[in-house]
Structure 1
């Protein structure tokens, strides 16, 4: 046996592998940009991949490397990232220079996952512009209002379930419960399907939704990291995020509904109807196809099933930790119902300033999007990161991050930033939300198109639940709030365990009219 040949072959493979996994890791050192020295293959993601740190803490830690720098270098495995710290640069990238930063870096390989890859968030260039223009009219406040009754029916049914839990079941893992609510809302408001997932937890929408949409596990996070950083490997191994049979199920739901409505002329106040109505106003050849509608409808499932449930869990946890805040929210809900003849209307709900402040403060502390990304499509010169440094040209194809969570928790912009204080939004809501340092749904033309839908979905649920129940800390509650390490989404360590207690004096809502009468 020729041992020398074997040794030389192994050395060659090792050198080739080392070169492949470090070939981009000299960029920031070469240009004198502050960064943590990367490790081969992992870059600066090693501690995250080893499940030693949360994504939240990793972003904050990177942001704090140099408080005087306008931007920091970061390596997401093999990919160099510019992390912006300067607000003027953030506005320049997300708002003023859309031509250079019009795209997101692909979250999935579209060849492997065509339905998810066809969602608005994933589209780039002119295709994104066309679809954004088609979808925007469907997500105005007036259009969301038409779906309020559908949401309210789901929220009323859910609150009724919670208020009637046997005493031994009142300590509950909120995430598993709340995904049933978000599933029912999306099924009703998007797919024209009425489901009660609490009573029927094995319904196909809920089962397929859990399989396809969750990002709150280590395995799923790794899957998305492969799609983002090695799309060729995802294609080679056919690592699907959404299984083909599940994608077909959701496509068939849309295709059958559209065909039935076109044939019979029936209408319903849901998102598919808004898509169809939008098509009628467009020139021939520029309409959404059924496949486009299916892709965008599924994007609501993907974007809302898990993340809205997680966000609502965090609100519930903070209310349990701060009973004085919860009591004030309940008082506002009670007064609103009393002043509106017991009816929870869209306008009355959005008039609740303190409820709005609580949700805004929760989104500040723990935003849905921990960072915003932009993909450079045309070379763009950044000013020197620090005095005495040289300008840096962001080349086409490079990625930029806006560290939302770190800015939201920066004492430079928020007094006592780690404290949960809804009062800051109650007193200065518009000042803060228009300041450029509050961005839970993104910034600029590419901010989340579904933000009104998500906020309404959370508010209507809280109104119904808190009118009937109080949320308490439970023996299994981890406080202060801690999060799972090694996963992308902000998800509670060992779940979100809380206790639900019926209020002694509450309101009974009608699932038909969303009206309410006082109950003892």
Structure 2
């Protein structure tokens, strides 16, 4: 089975999906994510060094953060060390951009695949050259490590363990809760015997990890930085926490990140106001009747195979649940107020068994960079910084209209 064929089956269904979810879940526990922090620190410091050279200039946050997200995934998922700011045309970044730059034709295919999955089951979304590139990286890296008995705490290593059946769940871990937005682990039990995963199938998971995580994480981080630029009081409070944490602990690690409550509030509020997940779609597997949506309306019968779309922003920007919903207010997630949030009204990483398996990774990736950024720089609003934020239309990803532009001034 080729990687291209694997990526066509997006998303997996039924027991095949249950097996893959159960196989990979141990790869995303807090204890596994903890091992990836040094890589994120290293790449964050590359960003800091670059911004020091650009001090006083108006910079495009979108471009810089997407290069950060690219380098983090290259290192933590594929075992490749690149610096996309120093080498902007490296092969990994070029190929990643080819995957994430959707043409009108690709967008139409994706819509039709969602609406008519049976009809479009043989369609390809991603360029074949890109999928073959990622397949080659995973295959060659696995073979090299097996031959030379090399271990590195990254996604390739975890996939190798999954293939051998040695990747085991460790039970509840105190490290698993990295932030308010972390999705709850829900045990998924396959109904049939355990599947043996081919190298191509696991390579497809690494590829989808990149495709699903690159743009969503980059968008959220870029919007968090934009919000800090136009909300200096929030940024000042965050700097106080970052500075105190740095003075006490020095270099950030997983446990230190867990203890930074206001940083968690800031990123949780970013995910509320600017959720990268636009919709959650779910397929009905048992007949169900929904109650009337309003007085005088009729119940709605949902049949097996029907697809339901839940628009995330309709919940997270509803004034019924979040007063003054367009205000950027991290205190909504403070210890004193977070109990007011109804669980099913905050779903930036989805909900239920098909929630985002990599929520810890995405949150960690964002927080590590924000720690280093705010420790070293004051993020300033410029004439090109859009305030209030308006999103660009016509794309699947969330980006600020005209781009996110700020200025970084080194702290003394």
- Structure 1 or 2, whichever has the larger Rg, is 1
1:260 is matched with 144
Pairing 1:136–2:22 present: no
Q: What TM-score comes out, normalization by structure 1 length?
A: 0.70
1:7 is matched with none
2:394 is matched with 486
1:154 is matched with 43
Give the 3 Å change call, closer, same or farther, for CA 432–244 of structure 1 in structure 2.
Answer: farther
CA distance in 2, matches of 1:320, 1:201: 26
Give the 3 Å change call, closer, same or farther, for CA 405–218 of structure 1 in structure 2.
Answer: farther
- Alpha carbons 1:472, 1:499 under 8 Å: kept: yes
2:53 is matched with 164
- Alpha carbons 2:55, 2:409 under 8 Å: kept: no
Q: What pairs with 1:465-484 in structure 2 (closer than 5 Å)?
A: 465-484=373-392
Q: Deviations over 1:158-186 (max 9, x none)?
A: 1121122153xx21111111111111000
1:293 is matched with 202
Number of residue pairs aligned between Structure 1 and Structure 2: 387
2:176 is matched with none
| SS of equivalent to 2:353 | helix
- Alpha carbons 2:288, 2:303 under 8 Å: kept: yes
Instruction: Return 273-282 or 415-424, whichever deviates more.
Output: 273-282
Give the 3 Å change call, closer, same or farther, for CA 296–149 of structure 1 in structure 2.
Answer: same
1:116 is matched with 7
**Aligned-pair distance for 1:280?**
3.3
1:273 is matched with 157
Pairing 1:228–2:119 present: no
CA distance in 2, matches of 1:278, 1:428: 41
2:91 is matched with 204
Q: Deviations over 1:375-433 (max 9, x none)?
A: 11332222233344433211222111222211111121112222111111123465256
- Alpha carbons 1:368, 1:440 under 8 Å: kept: yes
| SS of equivalent to 1:471 | strand
CA distance in 2, matches of 1:243, 1:127: 25
1:178 is matched with 65
1:391 is matched with 299
Which runs of no fewer than 5 residues in structure 1 stay unpaired? Answer: 1-109, 506-520
- Alpha carbons 2:238, 2:263 under 8 Å: kept: yes
Q: What TM-score comes out, normalization by structure 2 length?
A: 0.88
| SS of equivalent to 1:427 | coil
CA distance in 2, matches of 1:473, 1:195: 30
**Aligned-pair distance for 1:212?**
0.4
**Aligned-pair distance for 1:113?**
5.0
Give the 3 Å change call, closer, same or farther, for CA 429–438 of structure 1 in structure 2.
Answer: farther
Give the 3 Å change call, closer, same or farther, for CA 111–152 of structure 1 in structure 2.
Answer: closer
Pairing 1:246–2:130 present: yes
Give the 3 Å change call, closer, same or farther, for CA 381–285 of structure 1 in structure 2.
Answer: closer
Q: Deviations over 1:293-347 (max 9, x none)?
A: 111111121112222111111101110010111111111111001111x222221
- Alpha carbons 2:34, 2:253 under 8 Å: kept: no
